[in-house]
Structure 1
Amino acid sequence: MSTLTLSNAWLSLQAHQSVMAQEHLRELFDQDPQRFNSFSLKFNDILMDYSKHPICLKTINLLLALARQQRLEDWISRMFRGEKINSTENHAALHSALRGEHPLMLDGVDIMLDVRRVLTKMDKFSSSIRNGKLKGYSGHAFTDVVNIGIGGSDLGPVMVTEALKPYSSNHITPHFVSNIDGTQLSTTLRRLNPATTLFIIASKTFTTQETMANARAAREWFLDQGGSEKDVSGHFVAVSTNRMEVEKFGIDSDNMFEFWNWVGGRYSLWSAIGLSIAIAIGMENFYLLLKGAREMDQHFITTPMEKNLPVILGLIGIWQINFFGTKSHAVLPYDQSLHRFPAYLQQLEMESNGKRTDRNGNEVDYSTGTVVWGESGTNGQHAFYQLLHQGTQVIPADFLAPCISHNPIGDHHHLLLANFFAQTEAMMRGKSKSEVCAEFE
């Protein structure tokens, strides 16, 4: 047994779970009309309702005691200070610096100087693509941008570009290629004109097998369809740290946008990996994206844990996974714009928590994560909600919805939100055998 699972905080939660397992959520709501007010938090325009989890005030206090025992606030501070908390690779985890405002020293160097330099370069380049000043080899403005990457070099940019389509340029179409099977690349290129297509090759090392196979195939297509060797440098740019391989490919090193080893791939959309986002929505909106992330960073750093949205969500995850034994976590965005969010979150959480040893190399005796999956509503209602409602497994589900739609057509959004609220209530209340029988009498 580990020191964690033998600790007083952990054992207290185990004892408390046996009590909460006997409670039904609808009874908890019936007993406390103010339950929503007690278990919901706001940050700016975000409302987080966690009242439909099997918790009470004692649960939250015990979870907070566990967090304090494990020195969570200290680890948060250490991460934001740039300490090398990634002990395996001896790296800092400073993706938050990508949206920071103040000087931040790492190994005696203010890394914010490099961050601002790359952002300025992204601004200049993306603006030149969007306003047509940078043109293809035929003298025509670019109409299509193909991002070739995989993992964090694909999932983040795809998710954000889809989510922020209402802010996108009407005359530039983004495309994303990640799979090595050839079909995705072939079907994408089939629709494009090489003379007006820009390729972004996103690979930190510029040696990622899938990405470079697709990049070479795209280069061959470009040359076969009318482009020349000298035109490659005007139609291909790189997001990488490997200048030698970038130049060997034929890309002008001036068109290489760098990022750093203190940026994990799954957190990299805020870096130059987000170049495709900047071209799609404009750098002004990209800066607003960074601003929103920075505001959440500040909330995470400065807000007491009991009012801290990320902390509470994380603690509830521990409660569900380790004390109720849940193995699956559904993420259900009721907005088609967020249809790629479950896949993005899947990598973010499962790659981060997919570990079987602690930071000291000791094998753990508790669950470090769960399977994250999901689909946009209401599509999921006609696919897998049957299992969520009536199956034998308890599957925690996060429902997300915007109050205002970018595309108000008829009463579509009202119907969407009606489904959203009805599904969360139905899952919370359930239906007893006697209630079902009464409905058929």
Structure 2
Amino acid sequence: MTGAHRLSPLRAEAARVTQTPLRDLVADDPDRARDLVLRVGPMHASFARQRYDRAALDTLFRLGESFDFDGRLQALFEGELVNVTERRPALHTALRSDLVDSQVARVSHGMAREAREAMRAVVDAIVASGVTDVVSVGIGGSDLGPRLAVDALTRAGDARIRVHFLSNVDGHAAHRVLAGLDPSRTAALLISKTFGTQETLLNGGVLRGWLGDDSRVYAITANIARAAEFGIPETRILPMWDWVGGRYSMWSAVGLPIAIAIGMDGFEALLDGAAEMDAHVLREPVRRNLAAWHALTAVWNRNALDLASQAVLPYDERLRLLPNYLQQLVMESLGKSVHIDGSPVEVDTVPVWWGGPGTDTQHSFFQALHQGTSTVPCDFVGVIRADAPYRDNHDALLSNLLAQSEAFANGQDSDDPHRQYPGGRPNTMLLLDALTPRALGALIAMYEHSVYLQSVVWGVNAFDQFGVELGKQIANTLLPAVRGETEADDAVTRALIEEIGRQR
């Protein structure tokens, strides 16, 4: 049976459920607020304001069981070739947990442990050297995860070493990052799986020239030979492996910027939180599995309710980069239109993920979320206990978080159409007890597993990203044309290059 036919029962459930306003679904089921919740370690998740009732949710659970979520998760953890198009396992779980008894998982976990010992030595060496600043150079998966974690977990004034990130090939980005830094007290990390990424190599060259001394340049890569050609000795190269995709790699030596910023023990706690989520996801059945609930809810919103967009709204300034991180994790993983066997996908796959931190975004795009013509489901992420000393501010933040979730779901009637709120905006509430390395690790791991289970339903490969390659290939062929050495084949591009030349 095709994926489309297997998803068809959701349509019938949606046609029934959408006859009842979301606020009535909640009001008519007094136990819903306490039953449609799960707690895993430092996370509390409430699905009580999603637009399904218990019968529809039961249909979703049966769908997950029919797709053998339990077995597919076991295959992921054991190191089967889930990345079929590239003939590789996806063993990011082995970087942080040792939960299955397969040889490939055990070997991979052992390699990860050895790499962490090497990371600890590098962190100690950098701290002992008197370095005050580290510039991490990478892009995509080599940048977004570490950047999020450093921004979220570095407490103001506590950092022994300041970590800066450089990703964009735009020279203005390098100029801004390096301004005010002392090259004699700065180290550089060049992070690239292939060590062939144009942006990273160009920025790495800028940084190496600015430092004037290669003794404080480190590499994290799977291509040691290329890093050595760049001039970095093997003693300053940490490993990556082809069985870990870039957007799943922050748990590896790619997380070195995190370890430098918060200490190696903090980095280990991040991994422990992810491992705790791994254990839950691997061992709990679909009906008590947080990642499965989250994945099935995403499928419901996309394929039953036809919602083409998804917002993520962290109500903690330290999580302001979470939407950026999830854009890549979700959209690069699930932005596919063919099944693993190459046949066309018959249903819509990934929605557009976007968002921003509250309360700032309440004064920008929330108008469209409340009263616009498109319904956008939301993931709210809140933190119960704050670290900042301003209790009144945090109370106001939490009240806004709770109020927006309630307003989206319930709306408000009014005789004035301009002041009427339709409600019916489904949302999930994810609450962290505190923003600790352990909690952040659990949150990110939950999203990783949700993405994988969505890919199982849609029959796509969550671990390749061929869609990013075409533009890069064309850019390489156009670089000589931009320099005036050749002429572009495409007429529009040729005219644009001519205009660039006239204005230079």
Would you say same fold, with TM above 0.5?
A: yes
Q: In the TM superposition, what is the alpha-carbon distance from 1:106 to its structure 2 partner?
A: 5.3
Q: Does 1:5 align with 2:4?
A: yes
Match of 1:250 in 2: 231
Matches within 5 A, 1:18-417: 18-101=15-98, 105=102, 110-130=107-127, 132=128, 135=129, 141-166=130-155, 169-223=158-212, 231-232=213-214, 234-417=215-398
RCO comparison, higher one (Cα < 8 Å, 6+): 2
Q: Which runs of 5+ in 2 are unaligned?
A: 421-504
Contact 2:174/2:203 (<8 A) preserved:
yes
Q: In the TM superposition, what is the alpha-carbon distance from 1:434 to its structure 2 partner?
A: 3.9
Q: In the TM superposition, what is the alpha-carbon distance from 1:184 to its structure 2 partner?
A: 1.1
CA distance in 2, matches of 1:72, 1:303: 10
Contact 1:41/1:309 (<8 A) preserved:
yes
Moved more, 31-40 or 308-317: 31-40
* 2:81 partner letter: K
**Secondary structure, aligned partner of 1:402:** strand
**Secondary structure, aligned partner of 1:373:** strand
* 2:69 partner letter: L
CA distance in 2, matches of 1:65, 1:108: 29
Distance verdict in 2 for CA 1:45–1:241, change over 3 Å:
closer
Q: In the TM superposition, what is the alpha-carbon distance from 1:13 to its structure 2 partner?
A: 1.5
**Secondary structure, aligned partner of 1:47:** strand
Q: Which runs of 5+ in 1 are unaligned?
A: 136-140, 224-230
Contact 1:127/1:282 (<8 A) preserved:
no
**Secondary structure, aligned partner of 1:411:** helix
Contact 1:243/1:253 (<8 A) preserved:
yes
CA distance in 1, matches of 2:93, 2:51: 32
TM-score (norm 1): 0.92
CA distance in 2, matches of 1:188, 1:430: 44
CA distance in 2, matches of 1:202, 1:189: 18
Identity percentage over the alignment?
Answer: 37
- For residues 283-322 of structure 1, give each alpha carbon's deviation from its aligned partner in whole angstroms, at most 9, with x where no partner exists: 1111111100000000000011111111000000000001
**Secondary structure, aligned partner of 1:91:** coil
* 2:121 partner letter: K
CA distance in 2, matches of 1:438, 1:189: 49
Distance verdict in 2 for CA 1:431–1:109, change over 3 Å:
closer
Q: In the TM superposition, what is the alpha-carbon distance from 1:25 to its structure 2 partner?
A: 1.1
**Secondary structure, aligned partner of 1:88:** helix
CA distance in 2, matches of 1:68, 1:276: 39
Moved more, 263-272 or 248-257: 248-257
* 1:65 partner letter: R
* 1:351 partner letter: E
Contact 1:157/1:277 (<8 A) preserved:
yes
Distance verdict in 2 for CA 1:18–1:266, change over 3 Å:
same
CA distance in 1, matches of 2:319, 2:101: 33
**Secondary structure, aligned partner of 1:403:** strand
Q: CA RMSD in A?
A: 1.8
* 1:126 partner letter: V
**Secondary structure, aligned partner of 1:100:** coil
